[in-house]
Structure 1
Amino acid sequence: MAKTNLLNTRTINFLELLGNGRFYRVPPYQRDYSWSEEQWEDLWNDIQELRDKRDDSHYMGALVVEGKTDREFLIIDGQQRLATLSILALVVIAKLREMADREVDPEGNRERASGLRNRFVGEKDPASLIESSKLFLNETDNAFYQDYLVQLKKPLNPRGLCNSNKLLWDCFQYFSSQINKVPEFDSKGNVLAELLSETIARQLMFILITVDNELNAYTVFETLNARGLELSSTDLLKNYLFSRIKVSGDLEALQRRWRSLIATVQQERFPEFLRYHLQCDKPKVRSQRLFKLVRGEVKTAEGVFALMDNLEKRAELFSAILDVQHGYWIERPECKPFIRELNLFQARQMMPLLFAAWERFDAQDFARILRIVSVISFRYSIVSHLNPNALEIAYHQAAKAVLTNSAASPREVFQVLKSIYVPDDKLEQDFYRLAFKTNSQRKKLAKYILAQLECDASGRACDPETDPASVEHILPENPTSEWEEAFPPESWERAVERLGNLTLLEPAVNRSLGNAPYTAKVTAYGRSIYEITRQIEDIAPEQWTPDLLDLRQQQLAKRAVHLWQVDFS
């Protein structure tokens, strides 16, 4: 096969896909069969609709394969669809054989079954008389598929099958039951054969994307994934790593360790985890180049196991940083507030530094690092909305400094991170403009900020997770005409969402006030248990105006500067 092109793309139907002696293999350690009745039913309904529309076709999506020879292909993406359609073909063949056994056009139906099997499933070996296959599934599923489904044999103990084998058998039974519900399929072999040879074979269309190596497969994955197609970069990375192992004992060991690793970090998060792990050593690791980087560095079985060793050391911490309830924090309760904040801020770029700090610092200093990155994240991302690209470079430099002992304390780490620490004057200016749409996820963020300001103002604890306070809009979200005199209507939309227009209030009081005029609201504010709310009466005793909103937000901004502060003086 030519190796000069990145890929070859063409539209192809199911019949062409399996024609000319082609056969397809699912890489041994790709994920198991997972389709269930929801997907089978959708496919069956689509096929049934096509039977009445002979000139129509149905698009089955992109099928990505890696060409090993002109006839042999590895399935990079699309194994669930190919396996399901192959099982449906086997169901049709089994039904034709059953009709022949019932003496329903026995000669014709046996000939139809034989022809369809040769075309869509595989030919019978003339020596062993064993049915061959055009499709080979992964390590978990292939033996069951070849020994039972391809041979049209019922498993002796279906309940004892592993999950994916049971799904394969359930798929066979599902399509069998659907075919048995159509009366003409029970008596007219030509009509049933036509379901497979015409409707399924010619009207189900794929975009076949053929690549010539693993790297190009990953590149295609990135391109397609950017357009919303569901492929798994974890599967591609996994397949490459397993392809480096040649000894069966090593394969078994790697499989056990891989399953444990994925159970810890989760399938969909593995590329992110791997990227942050590599960023401990490299300044820029883009998602699009992740596969190329791994392929360039990991070329042998020894390299695969060395990578696994390092990943396993950091996997549990990665999981813990994304989960404030993780067991790691039971013995380190001082870390929990910062873990909660980092997840609220959706901060991830600091991960390489946290890997390094966990490995080199004691528990007390690790908690200090958490506070530093939480404060930096708040100032940089939440308040100032600066470019996140600079964060990854700075956190790589800090991680590298920790791992090489050139930054041996939180103070020294902070010096490395100074470039992403927003200066006080800029923080105050940006905080003055801070606004939130509180009908979205950002409502939690608004309450967090107000609760922190309340803690600072009152000197008492105010946990945004457990405190019952609701977020009150001083100028209501839907102002009435009574507000027009003090607050010009043209400024309502912008003013409602500003932080200076928000405060904490007892839920019952908030409900009772509703869209009440300011004179009623300010009286209730003065009796509130929340200090930042009581202070509103001092700022605006009679009416709420744009100027007074500005004044309050200025005061809150000054408080924020010293509240979200890293100070080693």
Structure 2
Amino acid sequence: MARINLLDTRTTSFGDLIGNGKIYRVPPFQRDYSWNEENWEDLWQDILVLHTNPDSSHYMGALVLQSSSTSDKEFTIIDGQQRLATLSIVAIAVINKIQKLVEREEQKEANQERQEILKRTYLSDRDPRSLRYSSKLLLNENNNDFYQSNLINLRKPLNIRSLSNSNQLLWQAFQYFSNHLEELQGIVQSGEKLAEFLTDIVAQRLLFIQINVEDELNAYTVFETLNARGIDLSSTDLLKNYLFSLFQGPDDLQEAQRQWRRIVNTVQMEKFPEFLRYYLSLIQTRVRRERLFKVVRESVKDGQQAFELLDRLENYGSLFIALSNSNDEFWRDASENRPYIRELELFRVKQAYPTLFAAYERFSPENFTRLLKLVCVLSFRYTVVSSLNPNELETLYNKVAIAIINGEITNPKQVFDNLRSIYVSDEKFLQDFSLLSISTKGQKKKLVRYILFKLETDVSHIEVNEDSFSIEHILPESPSSEWRQSFNDAQIEEMVYRIGNLTPLEPHLNREVGNELYTIKRTVYQQSVYTLTKNVLAEEWNPNTLATRQRHMAQRAVHIWRSDFPV
């Protein structure tokens, strides 16, 4: 594998960047400006700390720039546009304060000269034709016009409400920093001190790690290796920018933008890399997260291929979201799938997504439902009960997905044949279930409720309401001293959350028995409608009777969570 060539990595300041005669461009299709008051407040507090501590500096994180192939004076901002745009707005706010002093004729000539120097240093020189200032920082296609026409030239918009949300945020950022500068009474009344505030604090003591990369692939690799907040969003933007660069005409570009928005609105930006990896697993084996961009760039070379990719992503996007939400409208006309989708939610199993993507496209609706059931059984045995290594699951499901897409696997039985190695044997499943212990606190409580529901339904032959019962701990979570005659401290810790110690019980009966002794509880259990609970008939409750009950439950579980296909 070729070594990644980072052209430059060094510490730099906002002043060093923006004051060196170079131009920094946000890619045209990069995300719009999105910082809000919470972000501005964090930055302002950092600046105030620098103001009160003259020898201090503040690290602003990594700034990733892509060098231009045509000029050593121009860079594309791959990551850091929000921070650079906001610091530029701080500079504009300071310059505007000096302009106010000029208008009030306070040291007019000196402040005019300061203003001109600061504008040339941090914004740009005037265009000799229009006499307007243009920025050394160029924002994306949705924000740049407003940034140049209004902010750089200190022109208040005529109708703020008519602006796009991101342009409103840009203007609100300017107002925020303008208002907070007013609070610095010792500074805001002096052009000299305002200039010092900008040049010595904002420009020199807010520091970045500057990383220059040669191309988009290197930039993507940087994103995947930096341990910083927001990396997924930036890498997704990078992929989007690459795809959009392949479209030649404005009509194709606009359609691609509309399609991208639909995909991202469905999938959600932060989940997009995960979604893309599952999709690419229909095409290649062992797609690693850090290779997503490289895989796309190798397979998508022109606008037609980019449209084909967007079409496929849009087709799979709704399914991706629906696989983790049994209440999704996607299942409105396939309600038979909802119980299995809920099980996938409970088991937190996503390795099967590529197989489910492929099967939804190639299998009949009936066979897709059968496959969902099979995946749930495999997952419950392998992941929930036996807690085996999930890495093998991903590899196998990946291979099965490709085989389905290629027409080599055409039905759930063939899927099972290819996944037979991860079907936990009855003997091992019985053994592991006999010792299964799951906390009834937090999210795991839903899983325990599901297991008791399935066991109760099987023993009573009546489908009970899963949400109607309380989870009763026969050995209480907080046992009295009398209970300790049957269980020592180590046994209590080990056995209180064993499945054999848990049973469904009506809420009012659960409150009635509380932490009572077993002899009292056993009598109350006979009043329950739940067969699983009425069958708790042992003379006493101790480690042996608990283990015996759980073995019986395990025997029942073996045939509840069983493949429909011969083993």
Please tell me the TM-score bracket, short chain as reference: over 0.9
1:512 and 2:536 matched: no
1:568 and 2:556 matched: no
Q: Output the amino acid matched with 1:165.
A: N
Within the candidate set 539, 553, 556, 2:553 is matched to: 556
Query: Which whole-Å CA distance do the structure 1 matches of 2:406 and 2:169 have between them?
Result: 51
Please report how far the alpha carbon of residue 240 of structure 1 lies from its aligned counterpart in structure 2 after TM superposition: 1.8
1:532 and 2:528 matched: no
Counterpart residue number, 1:153 = 155
Query: Which whole-Å CA distance do the structure 1 matches of 2:427 and 2:25 have between them?
Result: 61
Q: Is the 8 A contact 1:104 1:187 kept in 2?
A: no
Q: Is the 8 A contact 1:24 1:136 kept in 2?
A: yes
| Pair 1:388–1:566, CA change in 2 (3 A) | same
The CA RMSD measured in Å over matched residues stands at: 1.7
Please report how far the alpha carbon of residue 447 of structure 1 lies from its aligned counterpart in structure 2 after TM superposition: 0.8
Counterpart residue number, 2:379 = 377
Q: Output the amino acid matched with 2:278.
A: Y
Counterpart residue number, 2:541 = 544
Counterpart residue number, 2:491 = 491
Please report how far the alpha carbon of residue 220 of structure 1 lies from its aligned counterpart in structure 2 after TM superposition: 1.0
Instruction: Give the alignment's TM-score, normalised by structure 1.
Output: 0.95
Count of matched residue pairs: 561
Counterpart residue number, 2:62 = 62
1:42-77 CA-partner distances (Å, limit 9, x unpaired): 211221222111101112122222222432221122
Q: Output the amino acid matched with 1:23.
A: I
Counterpart residue number, 2:437 = 435
Counting only pairs closer than 5 Å after superposition, residues 382-401 of structure 1 correspond to structure 2 as 382-401=384-403
Query: Which whole-Å CA distance do the structure 2 matches of 1:297 and 1:444 have between them?
Result: 42
Counterpart residue number, 1:16 = 16
Query: Which whole-Å CA distance do the structure 2 matches of 1:282 and 1:217 have between them?
Result: 23
Within the candidate set 95, 109, 119, 2:97 is matched to: 95
Query: Which whole-Å CA distance do the structure 1 matches of 2:474 and 2:51 have between them?
Result: 63
| Pair 1:266–1:345, CA change in 2 (3 A) | same
| Pair 1:266–1:487, CA change in 2 (3 A) | same
Q: Where do 5+ consecutive residues of structure 2 fail to align?
A: none
Counterpart residue number, 1:166 = 168
Query: Secondary structure, in 3 states, of the residue corresponding to 1:24?
Result: strand
Identity score, percent: 51
Query: Secondary structure, in 3 states, of the residue corresponding to 1:154?
Result: coil
Counting only pairs closer than 5 Å after superposition, residues 384-463 of structure 1 correspond to structure 2 as 384-463=386-465
Please report how far the alpha carbon of residue 511 of structure 1 lies from its aligned counterpart in structure 2 after TM superposition: 2.1
Q: Where do 5+ consecutive residues of structure 1 fail to align?
A: none
Instruction: Give the alignment's TM-score, normalised by structure 2.
Output: 0.95
Q: Is the 8 A contact 1:452 1:462 kept in 2?
A: no
1:259 and 2:261 matched: yes
Please report how far the alpha carbon of residue 557 of structure 1 lies from its aligned counterpart in structure 2 after TM superposition: 0.9
Counting only pairs closer than 5 Å after superposition, residues 200-349 of structure 1 correspond to structure 2 as 200-225=202-227, 230-232=231-233, 233-349=235-351
Please report how far the alpha carbon of residue 462 of structure 1 lies from its aligned counterpart in structure 2 after TM superposition: 2.4
Q: Is the 8 A contact 2:223 2:231 kept in 1?
A: no
Q: Output the amino acid matched with 1:397.
A: K
Please report how far the alpha carbon of residue 4 of structure 1 lies from its aligned counterpart in structure 2 after TM superposition: 7.2
Query: Secondary structure, in 3 states, of the residue corresponding to 2:536?
Result: helix
Query: Which whole-Å CA distance do the structure 1 matches of 2:93 and 2:6 have between them?
Result: 37
Query: Which whole-Å CA distance do the structure 2 matches of 1:223 and 1:512 have between them?
Result: 56
Q: Which runs of 4+ in 1 moved over 6 A?
A: none
Query: Secondary structure, in 3 states, of the residue corresponding to 2:485?
Result: coil
Query: Which whole-Å CA distance do the structure 2 matches of 1:44 and 1:17 have between them?
Result: 20
Query: Which whole-Å CA distance do the structure 2 matches of 1:228 and 1:437 have between them?
Result: 32
Query: Secondary structure, in 3 states, of the residue corresponding to 1:567?
Result: coil
Please report how far the alpha carbon of residue 7 of structure 1 lies from its aligned counterpart in structure 2 after TM superposition: 5.2
1:471 and 2:450 matched: no
Counterpart residue number, 1:500 = 500
Q: Is the 8 A contact 1:7 1:216 kept in 2?
A: no
1:235-278 CA-partner distances (Å, limit 9, x unpaired): 12112212222322221111011001111111111111111111
Query: Secondary structure, in 3 states, of the residue corresponding to 1:56?
Result: coil
Query: Which whole-Å CA distance do the structure 2 matches of 1:402 and 1:206 have between them?
Result: 48
Query: Which whole-Å CA distance do the structure 2 matches of 1:66 and 1:278 have between them?
Result: 26
Counterpart residue number, 1:353 = 355
Q: Output the amino acid matched with 1:485.
A: Q
